[in-house]
Amino acid sequence: MRRRFVIEAVMVATYGQLLVPSRPVEYIIPYSTIMELYDMKDGPEPVMDDPEDDRHVKQKIGELIEFFAEPLNRKKIERALQMPWRESPPLLLKEDVSFIVVHAIDNAQYGELFDPIETEQILTAIKYQVPLLTDQLELQDRIIEAEVPVQVFDIEDFEYAVEVGTEIDWETSRDL
């Protein structure tokens, strides 16, 4: 059983450990976060503070953009974009890593506390009832303070999240 997480596309490019999980993982990615990759790759703003790290991450962002632009993947994504909340079929990156791209739609439900990308991530996590994975401590704090009904994990706790989720999934399936 794959462990599922909602995540921004840039996090996958930034944190290499997300591509080598101890168990199969499926990342649910709002489409708007894929569009952000283009701005990050070509924009003047650095993604990382260290210039060498910034070059490396921008290279990884470029590779991820190429992956999403491959004809079969692009076709799957375009199909998902035809309707709000439609999801793409799985895009297999590696044997243990796949992506589902969702045409998430921001609504005003959390608009005062969160920006549109954060809102889409939260709504996607709620809709699919899967945890949100992020490196933004401020976002995690705001989710907790606002009592948003979503489980959130810090990227630093990724392996723990994969293991805990597997145990929870196993316990749930055992009871069926």
pLDDT for the residue numbered 165: 63
What is the C-alpha separation between 110 and 114, in angstroms, rounded?
6
CB 26 within 8 A of CB 89: no
- At residue 78, what is the residue type? E
What is the C-alpha separation between 176 and 132, in angstroms, rounded?
26
Q: What is the pTM of this model?
A: 0.88
**113 DSSP assignment:** T
Least confident of 112-116, 143-147, 164-168: 164-168
The structure tokens listed for 148 are: 């948003």
What is the C-alpha separation between 17 and 90, in angstroms, rounded?
20
Least confident of 41-55, 108-122, 162-176: 162-176
Is 21 strand, coil or helix?
coil
Q: Give mean pLDDT, residues 117-143.
A: 93
Q: Give mean pLDDT, residues 6-31.
A: 94
**Scanning the structure block, which residue is given the tokens 């401020």?**
138
User: In this predicted model, what pLDDT tens digit does every residue of 67-123 receive, in sequence order?
Assistant: 999 999 999 999 999 999 999 999 999 999 999 999 998 776 776 788 889 999 999
What is the C-alpha separation between 9 and 34, in angstroms, rounded?
6
pLDDT band (50, 70, 90) for residue 169: very low
pLDDT for the residue numbered 44: 87
